[in-house]
Structure 1
Amino acid sequence: MTFRKLFVIGAAVAALGVAGAAVAQTAAQKSMIDQAKAQGVVGEQADGYLGFRSSSSDAALRAAVDATNSGRRAAYARSAADAGTSADVAGARMFESQLLPRIQSGQWYRNPQGQWVQR
């Protein structure tokens, strides 16, 4: 199997895993995270996880981000096991193929160099 086919299969499996993890996330948590993204408090990161761009003392938001990242961590681990790679690679691939294209204008993301960039 070529690397390209392996990459495509891995990305597809990761997408399904993250979709499953998203189902576990409540609508309230998703709404809270979406609002925090719009405000620039939370953003996607090149490692495939959500991160705080600025400090937040909102315990509910922190819990929502933690729950989302926990679901993603499990999905990346499953995807990595299926593709024969690491969870770190699976998360980075998910960011590039699925998460980065969905970032809306005005929202922030952390690039692979660790810098926060506004789209």
Structure 2
Amino acid sequence: MKVINKLNIMTLISALCMSFSVWAISLDDAKSQGLVGEDSSGYLGLVVQNAEAKAVVDEVNAKRKAQYLKLAQKNNLSLAQVEALAAAKTIEKTQAGHYIEVNGSWVKK
């Protein structure tokens, strides 16, 4: 059995990480392509089922929830109150042509 040195392992890991980042979709790309949109609860939602877009949604929503919890605690608000405020703000700031959730349906702003 061959012994692989640390340098070869690090080179392989670096190459794999770079190749994954090439495949990964950015939030801006996902929005521009109509894959994700701002939902009425202050989070991103999937407009179209897509594995890469779902990964973006999951990552962004986890970060948003963490921030919302901090804001809620800091300002003596409930999580639901912060989510509602965030939803209004993100929908307002959404660019024309991107998707927002209105009454449970995805529509272009």
Q: Same fold (TM over 0.5)?
A: yes
* 1:93 match: 85
Relative to total residues, which structure has the larger helix share, 1 or 2? 1
Partner SS state of residue 48, structure 1: coil
Q: Is the 2:46–2:53 Cα contact (8 Å) retained in structure 1?
A: no
Provide the C-alpha distance between the structure 2 equivalents of 1:67 and 1:41, rounded to a whole number of angstroms: 15
| Bigger relative contact order (CA 8 A; separation at least 6) | 1
TM-score between the two structures when normalised by the length of structure 2: 0.70
- How big is the shift at 1:54? 1.4
Structure 1 residue ranges (4+ consecutive) displaced by more than 4 angstroms after TM superposition: none
Matches within 5 A, 1:65-104: 65-97=57-89, 99-104=90-95
1:114 paired to 2:104: yes
Q: Which ranges in structure 2 are unaligned for 5 or more consecutive residues? A: 1-21
In the alignment of these two chains, the number of paired residues is 88
Identity among equivalent positions (%) equals 31
Which of structures 1 and 2 has the bigger CA Rg? 2
* 2:54 match: 62
Provide the C-alpha distance between the structure 1 equivalents of 2:99 and 2:53, rounded to a whole number of angstroms: 17
* Cα RMSD (Å): 2.2
Provide the C-alpha distance between the structure 2 equivalents of 1:72 and 1:117, rounded to a whole number of angstroms: 22
Partner SS state of residue 55, structure 2: helix
Provide the C-alpha distance between the structure 2 equivalents of 1:93 and 1:78, rounded to a whole number of angstroms: 14
Q: Which ranges in structure 1 are unaligned for 5 or more consecutive residues? A: 1-27
